[in-house]
Structure 1
Amino acid sequence: MEVTIDKNSGYCFGVEFAIKMAEDEMESSDRLYCLGDIVHNDMEVKRLSEKGLIVIDRDQLQELNDCKVLIRAHGEPPETYRTAIENNIELIDASCPVVLKLQHRVKTAFDKMEKENGQIVIYGKKGHAEVIGLTGQTLEKAIVVMEDKDLEKIDFAKPVTLFSQTTKSTKGFYELKSKIEEKIKNEKGILNELDFNANDSICRQVSNREPQLANFAKENDIIIFVSGKKSSNGKALFQVCKGVNERSYFVENETEIDPIWLNSNDRVGICGATSTPMWLMEQVMKHLKSMEENLILENN
């Protein structure tokens, strides 16, 4: 059995930067809070909690004073910064630069749409940390769209400016763009640039993984996709693998691997989401190697 880890998988630079900031801060601080899971991977969250990182929610943030709180790569809405000032909280801001730039673009577009009686629409998962940060730039007026039924929230007689959560599927974004265009045409009989402005704000480090991952999935007989179950990016990238290789399996860690999936002569590819640590994929690889001898015996 040949086992390979996809060289393009693992943390994006935003997540890697946030984890490095947390680890550096914990070397000199006896207590560091993190607003939400630093990454959508329970194994990594557990590792960092053992080092002293304490995960809190927004309600708990309101009760804190005179301490340090890490803002993860997903970014935060303006109200978080206001709370920090009021409660004398030092923020260790690890917001991803790509997300911060998008927040600024959304705020600028929102100010423009307010003057034109228009709407900001965000393609993303309602309640996702990044989306909370984005809607916060719009006084919570942005319309979050994930499925076709969500389109009912949009008034197609008014101007629409569309953005995307940075980790969403490129294919999904352009499908949504086409549907909105069609609905505006049906409503107004014509589509012009004043009616609709679509901004592909998906992170290219994320979107470029889709074709790379599709090639990797084709090159191997079986794919073990490692990701936290909370990861939106993980779910999207797993579907890329599944779309080109039916023998693709989603696991959170090595304990979820079923030997029945494997044959001794398989080429096995291990890959993961932008929130999957390399050490976890290496752990999965080690486990697969330990299973190899039993597979050979069974097949003989």
Structure 2
Amino acid sequence: MKVTIDNNSGYCFGVEFAIQMAEDEMELADNLYCLGDIVHNDMEVKRLYSKGLRIISRDELQTLKNCKVLIRAHGEPPETYQIALKNNIELIDASCPVVLKLQNRVKHAYDKMKEQHGQVVIYGKKGHAEVIGLTGQTREEAVVVMEDNDLEQIDFSRPITLFSQTTKSTKGFYDLKKKIEERIVAQKGQLEVLDFKANDSICRQVSNREPQLSRFSKEHDVIIFVSGKKSSNGRALFGVCKSENNRSYFIENEQMLESGWFEDCMSVGICGATSTPMWLMEQVANHIKHKY
């Protein structure tokens, strides 16, 4: 049985940059605070904990003073920077450049929509770290849409500017765009230029992985997708694998592997999310080689 790791899987630039910044800082100090999980992967969080990285909540941030806190790749709302200034906290800002650019675009769109009595809509998961940072640019007035039911929050008689969380599915974004257009036409009878502006703000490091994973999934009898359960990107990319290869399985680590998956199997493909470390995929691959 041949086991192959997908070379295109693993950390995106933003996550890799944040982890490198954390490790560099911990070489100079015994510990470092991080606002939320640095990456949606429990195995990597545990590895970094052993090096001194301590995860804190937003409530805990408000009680800290005179220390260093890492901002992860997901970015943060303006409120976080205000708290840091007030409490003399030095922020190690590892926000992904793609996310920072999107925050700026959302802020400008919000200001423009206020003038036009319009609304900003974000395709993403409510409560997700990146989405919290984006809605913070709109004074929490943006409408967050994930499911069809969420569309009821939108006033289709007013102008709409749509953005996407950077790690969402491209297909999902364009499906949502079409549904909003249909709702506007149903309400107004036609779609005018000023009614709706859709901004595909999905990171291309993420969206480009979809066709790559689609090809990879077809090339192997069995696909083992390695990702943390909290990863939005992981769920989206696993869906790509499953749609192409029904023998695709989602695991967090090698302990979740089942022997029955590998019956009559000549080729196994190992892949993962943008939050999956390469060392973990290699660990899974080695386990399969030695046990199955």
Task: Provide the TM-score with structure 1 as the length reference.
Answer: 0.97
**In the alignment, what sits opposite 2:250?**
250
What residue number does 1:31 align with? 31
Task: Name the counterpart of 1:297.
Answer: none
Residue deviations 1:181-229, cap 9 Å, x none? 0000011111011000000000000000000000000000000000000
Provide the residue aligned with 1:150 in structure 2. Answer: 150
Q: What residue number does 1:110 align with?
A: 110
SS of residue matched to 2:163: strand
Given the superposition, is the C-alpha separation of residues 265 and 189 from structure 1 closer, same or farther in structure 2, using an over 3 Å criterion? closer
Q: Which amino acid aligns with 1:40?
A: H
Q: Which amino acid aligns with 1:99?
A: V
SS of the counterpart of 1:230? coil
Does the 8 Å contact 2:221/2:265 carry over to 1?
no
Q: 1:129-180 CA deviation, whole Å, 9 max, x = no partner?
A: 0000000000000000000000000000000000000000000000000000
Write out the 4+ residue segments of structure 1 that deviate beyond 4 Å after TM superposition.
none
Q: CA deviation at 1:29?
A: 1.4
Instruction: Summarize the alignment of residues 77-116 of structure 1 with structure 2, pairs less than 5 Å apart.
Output: 77-116=77-116
Root mean square deviation of aligned Cα: 0.6
Q: Are 1:166 and 2:166 counterparts?
A: yes
SS of equivalent residue, structure 1 residue 63 = coil
The aligned counterpart of 2:181 is 181
Per-residue displacement from partner, 1:11-49 (whole Å, max 9, x unpaired)?
A: 000000000000000000122100000000000000000
Q: What is aligned with 2:13?
A: 13
Pairs within 5 Å for 1:220-259: 220-259=220-259
Tell me by how many angstroms 1:263 deviates: 2.7
Is 2:235 the partner of 1:218? Answer: no
Q: Partners in 2 of 1:190 and 1:242 — Cα distance?
A: 38
1:191 maps onto 2:191 in alignment: yes
What is the rounded CA distance, in whole Å, between the counterparts of 1:143 and 1:70 in structure 2? 28
Provide the C-alpha distance between the structure 2 equivalents of 1:279 and 1:260, rounded to a whole number of angstroms: 25
Q: Does 1:67 align with 2:77?
A: no
Q: Distance in 2 between matches of 1:43 and 1:134?
A: 27
Q: Higher mean Cα deviation, 263-272 or 145-154?
A: 263-272
State how far apart, in whole Å, the 2-side matches of 1:54 and 1:211 are: 36
Shift of 1:75: 0.1
Normalization by structure 2: what TM-score? 0.99
Q: Write out per-residue CA displacement over residues 54-86 of structure 1, whole angstroms, 9 at most, x where no aligned residue.
A: 000000000000000000000000000000000
- 2: CA distance, partners of 1:178 / 1:238: 24
Other structure's SS at 1:250 match: strand
- The 3-state SS of whatever aligns with 1:46 is helix
Give the paired residue count. 292
Q: Give the Cα–Cα distance (whole angstroms) in 2 for the partners of residues 260 and 120 of structure 1.
A: 48
SS in 2 for 1:191: coil
